[in-house]
Amino acid sequence: SLQDQFDNLEKHTQWGIDVLEKYIKFVKERTEIELSYAKQLRNLSKKYQPKKNSKEEEEYRYTSTRAFLATLNEMNDYAGQHEVISENMTSLITGELTRYVQELKQERKSHFHDGRKAQQHIETCWKQLEASKRRFERDCKEADRAQQYFEKMDADINVTKADVEKARQQAQLRHQMAEDSKAEYSSTLQKFNSEQHDHYYTHIPNIFQKIQEMEERRIVRMGESMKTFAEVDRQVIPIIGKCLDEITKAAESIDHKNDSQLVIEAFKSGFEPPGDVDFEDFTQPMKRTVSESSLSNSRGDGKSEPKFGGKSKGKLWPFIKKNKLMSLLTSPHQPPPPPPASASPSAVPNGPQSPKQQKEPLSHRFNEFMTSKPKIHCFRSLKRGGAGPEDFSNLPPEQRRKKLQQKVDELNKDIQKEMDQRDALTKMKDVYIKNPQMGDAASVDHRLAELGQNIEKLRLEVQKFEGWLAEVEGRLPARTEQARRQSGLYEAQNTSAVNSCAQDRESPDGSYTEEQSQETEMKVPATDFDDEFDDEEPLPTIGTCKALYTFEGQNEGTISVAEGEMLYVIEEDKGDGWTRIRRNEDEEGYVPTSYVEVYLDKNAK
């Protein structure tokens, strides 16, 4: 029936609206995914961006790290394109379709309302026709009964003439009523047939046509939205392609040779390789010698003192391991004192000194400079030293030159800023002098005086750093110069490489003097080179020992012990009369083997 068709159409159009709303929900969730993806990409890019004023910023001078930074920036732009996708889908699809769905619901409601109204109208016409038909049928039956009653009364001779006339009039009235009902029924029937024709051939088809057009528009609109869905993605593909091209370009810009050169420039120390280590003759007791060109440079032939290499400042040769280095620097290259005649601590307070010590003041001073126990117990303590010296003397020559040049450039920039401020204030003062109503010229005098003082201070600083810079540049070896063989030694002019141990002074000709009044104790800077020593494991203990006598340990590489004290043994007597012991993590050194009783661990290697 027609009503069934309306029900089917109503269900189908409602299903179409549900499909459209489902598609809207799908696109909305897609936009949320795009936003979330873009946010995660931005956070990822931000996470790996170099932090301001950090060591990471220095790392980005290499082409590989700059390419990585460019990749991070392009990923940020890449994330922006996904945000564009989300915004365009929201405005062009989700927003438009949401408004269209509301309009579609209203249109659908209107069409089905018109259909129901037309259906109700035809049903009303049908009811009117049925009522007219029943009335006509009833009137016809009443007219037949009235006619039959009249004929019966007319045939009965016992009925008066008046009753017969009355029955005849009643039959005529009923007959007239039947004729009127017939005419009304005929008119109603014609009207209903006309309404029914219009209903089935005009009104309902028009309504169905409108519903069909509405449904077709919905389908077309959904297809257009799907095209927009793809087009929104396609529009950003060229920009995303550019981002990827930039990443590729950044990767191709990586120059491994340039990066290697930067590393060389960054860590070039200016040191020269150490000379060959000479043969030590152990066949002549008490006369062990070590070449002046060796790392320790601790023994001469009793003649004039050798000069420290002026070209080798600030650092030990960086490729010597800590254990070997400490052994070379801290071994007391002299015979141990004999045990005291008495066990009393006061009997031999310091122990007899080797006769060679007085003949070798330079070696003694150098070893004391390197291993002064009250100031530095081990290389690990270098990291705890605090800020570096002002002249960067803790750095290798080449690095020191770079730092000093950088400092000079910074100071010159500061001077230029101060001079610009002074010039501006001078112009302002001139304006105030010419136009007193604009301001008091005397009000800027105090600031001008301050700027003048600041400029003068900065200029003095520049002169100071330029002097250090000239000193370093004068001491750096030329490329064609014959390499010296004394690079393994510390040089202690001005502020030494390890300031807390600096005790020697250098004379103008490059030699060292022994002015005790010049001994100072400075803070030790923490440098990257020291980390190599800090990472080394300490020597393992191979046993224990008990001090038989008190030993003051005031010489180079030695350690003080008290009678009866228990300590750890970390190195046996190598035949030179000395045993290396440790008290704790930061205190170790040599004591005469005859002063201690050693208990070696059987399992120790």
Looking at the predicted structure, is the pLDDT value of residue 139 above 60?
yes
Mean pLDDT score of the chain: 76
Are residues 149 and 11 located together in one domain of the fold? yes
How many CA atoms are closer than 13 Å to the CA of 21, on its beta-carbon side?
11
Please state the pTM of the whole predicted model. 0.48
Asked if 15 and 116 sit in the same domain, the reply is: yes
- 229-271 confidence digits (pLDDT tens): 999 999 999 999 999 999 999 999 999 999 898 888 878 777 7
Using CA atoms, how far apart are residues 110 and 115, in angstroms rounded to an integer? 9
Exposed/middle/buried for residue 512 (C-beta within 10 Å: 0-12, 13-18, 19+) = buried
Least confident of 4-18, 158-172, 248-262, 432-446: 432-446
Structure tokens that stand for 13 in this block: 């159009």
Residue 569's beta-bridge partner residues?
A: 543, 581
| Domain's final residue, options 262, 277, 305 | 262
DSSP class of residue 393 equals T
Which of 262, 285, 305 lies at the terminal end of a domain, its last residue?
262
- Residues 589, 462 share a domain: no
CA dist., res. 153 & res. 163, Å (int): 7
Say how far residue 226 (Cα) sits from the centre of its chain: 38
Same domain, 465 and 590: no
Give the CA angle between residues 325, 501, 321 to the nearest 5°.
15
Let me know whether 446 and 563 are in one domain.
Answer: no
Task: Kindly state the average pLDDT of the residues 127-154.
Answer: 90
- 300 assigned to some structural domain: no
Q: Are 549 and 564 in contact (CB under 8 A)?
A: no
HEC profile for 495-506?
Answer: CCCCHHHCCCEE
Output 272 or 515, whichever has higher pLDDT: 272
How distant, in Å, are the alpha carbons of 36, 285, 342 from that of 354?
Answer: 79, 12, 20
Residues 309-315: what's their mean pLDDT? Answer: 39
Q: Is 314 left (phi over 0), alpha (psi -120 to 50) or beta?
A: left
Residue 350 confidence (pLDDT): 41
Residue 274 lies in a domain: no
Domain at 104, CATH number: 1.20.1270.60
Q: Do residues 349 and 538 make contact, with C-beta atoms less than 8 angstroms apart?
A: no
**Residues 6+ positions from 389 with CB-CB distance below 8 Å:** 495, 499, 522, 523, 525
Residue 59 pLDDT:
76
In a domain, 180, yes or no: yes
Distance CA 380, CA 585 (A): 10
Q: What share of the chain is helix, strand, coil (3-state, %, to 5)?
A: 60, 5, 35
**Of 13-27, 331-345, 444-458, highest mean pLDDT:** 13-27
Contacts of 164 by beta carbon, 8 Å cutoff, 6+ apart: 150, 153, 154
Closest CA to 530 of 404, 384, 401: 384
Could you tell me if 19 and 106 lie in one domain? yes
pLDDT (0 to 100) of residue 88: 95
Cβ contacts of residue 483 below 8 Å, gap of 6+? Answer: 272, 273, 477
332 belongs to a structural domain: no
Write the DSSP symbol of residue 302. S
Judgement on whether residues 422 and 555 belong to the same structural domain of the protein: no
Q: How sure is the predictor about 332, in pLDDT bands with cuts at 50, 70 and 90? A: low
**Within this chain, do residues 469 and 560 fall inside the same structural domain, yes or no?**
no
Residue 578: strand, helix, or coil: strand
Q: Mark residue 5 as left, alpha or beta (left: phi above 0; alpha: psi -120 to 50; beta: remaining).
A: alpha
Q: 420 in a domain, yes or no? A: yes
Q: Are residues 257 and 130 in the same domain?
A: yes
pLDDT tens figures, 481-509: 333 333 333 333 333 333 333 333 333 33
> What's the CATH number where 564 sits?
2.30.30.40
DSSP state of 176: H
**Whole-number percent of the chain with pLDDT over 90:** 38
Is 491 contained in some domain? no
* DSSP code, position 387: S
Give the pLDDT mean for 541-559: 87
Owning domain of residue 229: 5-262
Amino acid 101: pLDDT: 95
DSSP 479-545: TTSPPPS-TTS---SSS-SSGGG---EE-TTS-EE--GGG----PPPP-TTHHHHHTSPPPPP-EEE
Residue 207 lies in a domain: yes
CB-facing half-sphere around the CA of 73: CA atoms within 13 A: 13
**Sequence-distant (≥ 6) Cβ neighbours of residue 261 within 8 angstroms:** none
**Token pair belonging to 361:** 């003041």
Could you tell me which residue, 337 or 334, shows the higher pLDDT?
Answer: 337
pLDDT of residue 244: 94
* Res. 530: pLDDT tops 80: no
Its sign, for the CA torsion 244, 249, 250, 254, is positive
Give residues with Cβ within 8 angstroms of 503, minimum separation 6: 365, 368, 369, 372, 492, 518, 519, 520
| 69-123 tens-digit pLDDT | 999 999 999 999 999 999 999 999 999 999 999 999 999 999 999 999 999 999 9
As given in the structure block, the two tokens for residue 432 are 């105030």
**Alpha carbon distance 271, 460 (integer Å):** 30
Left (φ > 0), alpha (ψ -120 to 50) or beta: where does 246 sit?
alpha
Q: What is the mean pLDDT of residues 205-213?
A: 93
Domain boundary among the residues 242, 262, 282 is at 262
pLDDT at position 495 is: 36
Indicate whether 550 pLDDT > 70: yes
Q: Which of 393, 397, 405, 403 is nearest to 270 (CA)?
A: 397
Q: What pLDDT does residue 160 have?
A: 83
* Least confident interval from 10-24, 110-124, 336-350, 504-518: 504-518
Tell how far CA 144 is from the center of its chain: 108
Which of 44-58, 271-285, 444-458, 529-543 holds the top average pLDDT?
444-458
Stretch (H or E) spanning 598: strand 596-600
462 and 552: one domain? no
Residue 3: the pLDDT is: 73
Q: Does residue 349 register a pLDDT over 50?
A: no
Residues 6+ apart with CB under 8 A from 456: none
- What confidence score (pLDDT) does residue 587 get? 85
Provide the pLDDT for residue 533. Answer: 44
What is the per-residue DSSP string for 322-377? HHHHHHHHHS--SPPPPPPSSSSTTTSSS-PPPHHHHH-HHHHHHHHHHH-TTT-S
Cβ partners under 8 Å of residue 454, min gap 6: 418
Task: For residues 93 and 217, state if they share a domain.
Answer: yes
One domain for residues 450 and 573? no
Sheet containing 543-547: order of strands: 587-592, 578-584, 566-571, 543-547, 596-600
Tell me the CA end-to-end span of the chain in Å, nearest whole number: 107
Identity (one letter) of the amino acid at 46? K
Task: Say if 331 falls within a structural domain.
Answer: no
Per-residue confidence at 61, pLDDT binned at 50, 70, 90?
confident
Q: Tally the domains of the chain.
A: 3
